[in-house]
């Protein structure tokens, strides 16, 4: 199947043919960025290969989504090469991420690869004489869904790009909107779940609004929310039209970047300098060491308190995610454990409370009323 005819078929037309004929094989789609390969089995897409030279982009999706650290992704890649296994398998076996969460991000990556192809011109498509290799971590993608989303993307994408500067744009919640939503002196709670918010807002708008914080670039908001960029752009477009969010900067920087070797060496250098100074002071003024040690004991208490607050905030976010999935108050936090958001011990420690005044919140019974 090659686009050599007088009237070459569109990418959408080729997908329709593959689906209607229940084709099995590998579809090569070449663009200016490289070659994507779509593996079909009985008319369904069962795997998506990215252009050569891109080292496991799903790892970037996981890091941007805050699901796993960059260090663990790099370690999984090293183990995968050494033992001739897939990085996905290593991540799950090491319990860095749950299988369900991994499948969600693999599916998200596949859609991000395929949907932009609908709007491109000058692509070359051919059916290769190869057997498909299904991705065990990717749920089969229904072609009718892709056709519907692809057609809508082609139609709406130019207008969205005029309103949304780039995937690096940073937005924050508009304070004026919040002031109008809540009367002076009234407890804000979480505006995402307030019954005062426009009932016409869909799930995508609500989840994007929740993760907008004035720091995350739009791409990281999308990954954290588990949405593709097209859906995130549409949601942000609606939120802007309703004056619920406002632009902070059109070119924000990633808040999760891989560590660089120079900052690490500089940090190590200054650490050695500080240690040398302390040792020198200890030789000449032993009493000063005692003072430093006593001050450090105070820092430990502060650190412990900060750690407990961090755990509580993470569990609170997990409860919000469960609420957004079912739009109802979760009875327990077990679902958050299954999604790999929190540890099982944390799920047992906290309970979920929901009411109209305070919204959804988690509490530790051991902390008292």
Residues 346-353 have a mean pLDDT of 81
**pTM passes above 0.75:** no
pLDDT at 288: 47
CA distance 101 to 244: 30
Residue 1 forms part of a structural domain: no
Residues 196-209 have a mean pLDDT of 78
Contact 106, 135 (CB under 8 A): yes
Contact 46, 135 (CB under 8 A): yes
All residues at 6 or more sequence positions from 81 whose CB lies less than 8 Å from its CB, including other chains: none
Residue 4 forms part of a structural domain: no
Residues 149 and 173 in one domain: no
Contact 115, 153 (CB under 8 A): yes
Residues 127 and 184 in one domain: no
Which of 1-5, 272-276, 305-309, 355-359 is the least confident region? 1-5
**H or E element, residue 34:** strand 34-41
Q: Which residue, of 154, 185, 200, is where some domain finishes?
A: 154
Residues 176 and 217 in one domain: yes
* Residue numbers of the domain that contains 360: 263-367
Residue 80 forms part of a structural domain: yes
Contact 210, 324 (CB under 8 A): yes
Q: What is the pLDDT of residues 21-64, one digit of tens each?
A: 898 999 999 888 788 899 999 888 999 987 665 667 888 888 88
Q: What is the mean pLDDT of the chain?
A: 78
Is residue 198 pLDDT above 80, yes or no?
no
Is residue 233 pLDDT above 70, yes or no?
yes
Residues 280 and 242 in one domain: no
CA angle 351, 353, 359 (to 5 degrees): 140
Q: What is the pLDDT of residues 64-82, one digit of tens each?
A: 888 888 889 999 989 998 8
All residues at 6 or more sequence positions from 151 whose CB lies less than 8 Å from its CB, including other chains: 12, 118
Residues 202 and 332 in one domain: no
- Side-chain-side CA neighbours of 320 within 13 Å: the count stands at 24
What is the 8-class DSSP label of residue 143? H
Residues 224 and 337 in one domain: no
Is residue 142 pLDDT above 70, yes or no?
yes
Is residue 255 pLDDT above 60, yes or no?
no
Residues 269 and 337 in one domain: yes
179: left (phi over 0), alpha (psi -120 to 50) or beta: alpha
Residues 148 and 38 in one domain: yes
Residue 240 forms part of a structural domain: yes
pLDDT at 90: 92
Residues 239 and 305 in one domain: no
Q: What is the pLDDT of residues 328-341, one digit of tens each?
A: 778 788 877 776 66
Residues 146 and 213 in one domain: no
Q: Which residue, of 154, 177, 208, is where some domain finishes?
A: 154
pLDDT at 246: 92
Residue 159 forms part of a structural domain: no
Residue 257 forms part of a structural domain: no
Residues 349-364 have a mean pLDDT of 72
Residues 149 and 170 in one domain: no
Number of folded domains in the chain? Answer: 3
Residue 36 forms part of a structural domain: yes
Residues 290-294 have a mean pLDDT of 45
CB count, 10 Å around CB of 224?
Answer: 20
- Work out the burial of residue 317: count CB atoms within 10 Å of its CB; fewer than 13 is exposed, 13-18 middle, 19 or more buried: middle
User: If pLDDT is split at 50, 70 and 90, which confidence band does 203 have?
Assistant: confident
Q: Which residue, of 193, 217, 249, is where some domain finishes?
A: 249
Residue 277 forms part of a structural domain: yes
Residues 237 and 205 in one domain: yes
Is residue 319 pLDDT above 80, yes or no?
no
User: If pLDDT is split at 50, 70 and 90, which confidence band does 7 have?
Assistant: low
CATH number for the domain spanning 170: value is: 1.10.10
- Nearest by Cα to 217 from 190, 243, 248, 242: 248
């Amino acid at each position: 199947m090659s686009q050599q005819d007088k009237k070459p078929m569109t990418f959408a037309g080729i997908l329709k043919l593959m689906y209607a004929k229940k084709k099995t094989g590998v579809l090569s789609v070449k663009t200016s960025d490289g070659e994507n390969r779509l593996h079909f089995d009985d008319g369904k897409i069962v795997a998506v290969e990215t252009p050569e030279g891109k080292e496991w982009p799903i790892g970037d999706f996981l890091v941007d989504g805050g699901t796993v650290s960059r260090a663990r992704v790099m370690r999984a890649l090293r183990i995968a090469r050494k033992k001739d296994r897939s990085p996905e398998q290593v991540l799950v076996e090491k319990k860095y991420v749950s299988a369900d969460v991994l499948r969600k991000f693999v599916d998200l990556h596949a859609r991000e690869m395929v949907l932009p192809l609908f709007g491109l011109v000058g692509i070359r498509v051919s059916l290769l004489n190869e057997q498909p290799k299904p991705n065990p971590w990717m749920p089969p993608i229904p072609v009718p869904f892709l056709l519907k989303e692809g057609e809508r993307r082609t139609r709406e994408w130019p207008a969205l790009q005029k309103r949304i500067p780039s995937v690096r744009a940073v937005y924050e919640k508009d304070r004026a909107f919040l002031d109008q939503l809540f009367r002076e002196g009234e407890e804000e709670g979480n505006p995402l779940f307030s019954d005062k918010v426009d009932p016409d807002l869909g799930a995508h708008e609500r989840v994007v609004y929740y993760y907008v914080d004035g720091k995350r670039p739009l791409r990281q908001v999308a990954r954290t929310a588990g949405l593709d960029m097209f859906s995130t752009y549409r949601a942000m477009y609606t939120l802007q039209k309703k004056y619920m969010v406002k632009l902070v900067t059109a070119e924000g920087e990633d808040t999760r970047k891989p560590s660089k070797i120079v900052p690490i060496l500089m940090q190590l250098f200054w650490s050695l300098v500080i240690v040398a100074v302390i040792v020198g002071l200890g030789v000449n003024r032993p009493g000063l060491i005692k003072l430093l040690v006593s001050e450090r004991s105070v820092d430990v208490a502060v650190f412990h308190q900060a750690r407990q607050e961090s755990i509580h905030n993470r569990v609170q976010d997990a409860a919000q995610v469960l609420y957004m999935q079912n739009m109802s108050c979760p009875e327990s936090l077990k679902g958050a454990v299954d999604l790999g958001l929190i540890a099982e011990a944390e799920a047992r420690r906290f309970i979920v409370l929901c009411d109209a005044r305070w919204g959804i919140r988690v509490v530790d019974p051991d902390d008292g009323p």
